[in-house]
Amino acid sequence: MFTRAVSRLSRKRPPSEIHGSDGSVFAADQEQKGTQKWATSLDSLLADPRGVAEFTDFLKKEFSEENLLFWLACEDFKTTQDKEQMQKKAQEIFVTFLSSKSASQVNVEGQSRISAKMLEDPHPLMFQKLQEQIFNLMRYDSYSRFLKSQTFLELQASEESDGPGAGETAAKRASRIYNT
């Protein structure tokens, strides 16, 4: 259920622009791939299914994957149109992540304000504040540790050694890029 939401996660932000020597403009965001793009922001990491998978594996090792799973479940919930499905998903989110009896409980303020009535008559943004708390927790805690982790550094090194121009000096790469 949660992985379906991954493809809809991309938040629309104006990409930074780079001007070529001929005056053409291209988006720097489009040029970045994999770990290079993931390192720009948590949003970029969460917009990439491979990034989500790698971040999930990292969080499993830290015993905190419930934060990401909760965030993904909320993203999926927000896109649900069918009232019956929305009720089912709201209940599932509450039981899985917000109930005091949950094995995967997330640590957020306000989960006790989610009432049975709210679960019976859910709306797409009912978990928004809680989701924002978890996003900020991940951004300032887990995400920064992920970027410093051995896993991320190995992925980054692997991409650099496999990428175009591997073994090429920066000057040669710049010459090749700008002289084509």
Residue in the block written with tokens 């121009």: 165
Contact 59, 68 (CB under 8 A): yes
> How many domains, in total, are found in the chain?
1
The whole domain housing 97 covers 3-7+35-161
What are the pLDDT digits (tens) for 26-84? Answer: 344 455 788 999 999 999 999 999 999 999 999 999 999 999 999 999 999 999 999 99
Q: Across 7-11, 19-23, 173-177, which has the greatest mean pLDDT?
A: 173-177
Domain contains 30: no
Is 44 inside a domain boundary?
yes
| pTM (2 d.p.) | 0.72
Q: Is residue 26 part of a domain?
A: no
**Quick check: is 14 in a domain?**
no
pLDDT at 120 exceeding the cut of 80: yes
Inter-residue contact 146 to 56 (CB < 8 Å): no
Q: How does DSSP assign 58-108, residue by residue?
A: HHHHTT-HHHHHHHHHHHHHHT---HHHHHHHHHHHIIIIISTT-TT----
CA neighbor of 134 nearest in space, from 50, 58, 72, 47: 72
| φ, ψ at 65 (rounded to 5°) | -70, -20
CATH number, domain at 77? 1.10.167.10
**Residue 172 domain-assigned?**
no
- Do the domain assignments include residue 50? yes
Question: Would you say residue 168 lies in a domain?
Answer: no
Residue 17: inside a domain, yes or no? Answer: no
Provide the pLDDT confidence category of residue 178 given band limits of 50, 70 and 90: low
